Amino acid sequence: MVKTERILSKTIDQKVLNFIDQYNLLSRGDRLLIALSGGPDSVFALYFFYKFKRKFQIDLGAAHINHSLRGQNSDEDERFCKNLTEELGIPFFSQRVDVKSFSKDSGLSVEEAARNLRYNVLKNIAREQNFGRIVTAHNMSDNAETVLLNLIKGTGLKGICGIPPKRENIVRPLLSLSKQEILEYLKLSGIPYRIDESNLSNDYQRNFIRNVLLPEIKNNLNPAVENNLFNSSVNFRNAKEIIDFQVSQIIPHIIVLSGESLEIKLEEPQYISSPALGEVLKKATEDKFKVEFSFGDLLKIRSLIENQAGRKILLSDGLAAYRERISIIIRNDTIEEFSPVEIKIGETKKILGKYISIKDYTKSETFKLEDLFAYSNGYREFISFDSMEDNFVIRRWQPGDKFIPLGMHSYKKISDFLTEQKLLVSQKKKQLVLTNRDRIIWIPGLRIDDRYKITEKSKRILELCLE
């Protein structure tokens, strides 16, 4: 029995050591912060690095995050970790987080909320205590669950790349071991650990894959499924690096980012028809809007490319795509709430991030008619105030609104005017108008009504400004 224990211990130790060397996870003299939950994986990680502390010439610390999800059991996990580190003489750091409240406030699932909080705490402790690397105890079985779950959910190439051995200052040396190998090692070595009973329930998606799907695959299809999925995830990751490079070459040719929107230029057919278009749009939209771009979204965009200008489709997470004449605009489709705003002469109002002002130009300036015409540009306009009231109203334009554009003699619908001005479909619906006695006086940034232009007969002049 002792011989068997030694052989198993040496074999498993060597697998981890080889993995650390293969992926260059450590350097001599590193300060490692072990993420210690009290479960078998993290306990193995703690004992492993304690055992090879001299070999790597490293300093160790352990961090425990109490998720406050399992009542007394969560507190007992924390006490277990504290006692374990005291026995080994390893500095211990712990922090309690309220996962349920964060999940509710953020709209994330409990699992995702716990993950986000956990990594935030680990990074904070590492920074404050000067630990250069964080060790998390993800194993090969965890990776298999991740690949299968993401494949089933259809998250794309990124999802099936699995869990990376290294990301920023986080390293995962236990990806070289299966869960079963870790449990056997701890059993033969007599090392205690805690069991999270929530992992035994199939209420969570990952637990169903862990407790039901993977065992069935091992028993009926492939006993080495975890190892094979790890090798596949490495191949997927390599393929993704190649595709990411290609994507980085294409993006500057067809993607233009501006304030609130992302523009897809359609003038480069060789890029629009590229098989890499999906990955291009996925990266661009996720970087810009911090939302996930789905395969369904890609199909909608491809359909929109074939449509006429003026069409609009809804994408995931509140995004919408608008087909313009030579491009597609993607932006958040939620329009900021806006009620009509009254504005008087001499006032400046901040509206939707811009400033609109009305000034009595007659009182403060001497003017020449030709100078005022030269100054007018849509953003700064001069109008005759002789037939108006003192109170103006700023509102969004509405279907049926019309005015007489400066230089014309007949009415034109606002919708037609905005189209003629080549406003993007996505911009048109946000356009404001300035009214007086329910008549449209000015379309800020574009044109005034011809009936209110200044003439030699004008007695009072108002200056309208949009900044």
Three-class HEC string of 52-120: CHHHHCCEEEEEEEECCCCCHHHHHHHHHHHHHHHHHCCCEEEEECCHHHHHHHHCCCHHHHHHHHHHH
Residue owning tokens 């404050």: 128
Q: Which residues contact 130 (CB under 8 A, 6 or more apart)?
A: 31
The residues, any chain, with a CB within 8 Å of residue 420's CB and separated by 6 or more, are none
pLDDT of residue 1: 47
Domain with CATH 3.50.40.10 in the chain: 341-466
pLDDT of residue 203: 54
Q: What is the pLDDT of residue 404?
A: 92
pLDDT digits (tens), the chain, 467 positions: 456 667 777 889 999 999 999 999 999 999 999 999 999 999 999 999 999 999 999 999 999 999 878 778 888 999 999 999 999 999 999 999 888 888 887 777 888 888 889 999 999 999 999 999 999 999 999 999 999 998 988 777 888 999 999 999 999 999 999 999 999 999 989 999 998 766 655 556 788 898 899 999 999 999 999 999 999 999 999 999 999 999 999 999 999 888 778 889 998 888 888 888 888 998 888 888 888 888 888 889 898 888 877 788 888 888 888 888 888 888 886 656 678 889 988 888 888 878 888 888 775 555 566 656 655 667 888 888 877 888 899 998 888 899 999 888 899 998 888 888 877 666 777 789 999 988 999 999 899 999 988 887 778 888 888 88
Please name the fold of domain 341-466: Phenylalanyl-tRNA Synthetase; Chain B, domain 3 (3.50.40)
**Collapsing DSSP states into helix, strand and coil, what is residue 295?**
helix
Q: Which residue has the tokens 């009305």?
A: 358
Q: What is the dihedral sign for C-alpha 113, 118, 121, 126?
A: negative
CATH architecture group of domain 2-230? 3-Layer(aba) Sandwich (3.40)
Sheet (strand 348-351) strand order: 348-351, 354-360, 461-466, 380-384
Report long-range pairs for 187-192 (Cβ below 8 Å, ≥24 apart).
188/4, 188/5, 188/8, 188/9, 189/5, 189/9, 189/47, 191/43, 191/44, 191/47, 192/43, 192/80
Query: Rounded to whole angstroms, how far apart are CA atoms 396 and 429?
Result: 8
DSSP H helices in 255-326: 269-272, 277-289, 295-305
* Contact indicator for 185, 9 with CB cutoff of 8 Å: yes
Q: Are strands 327-332 and 261-265 parallel, antiparallel or unpaired?
A: antiparallel
Residues 6+ apart with CB under 8 A from 346: 358, 359, 360
| pTM exceeds cut of 0.85 | no
Structure-block tokens of residue 338: 């806006």
CATH 3.40.50.620-classified regions of the chain: 2-230
Sheet with 312-314, edge to edge strand ranges: 255-257, 261-265, 327-332, 319-323, 312-314
Letter for the amino acid at 319?
A: L
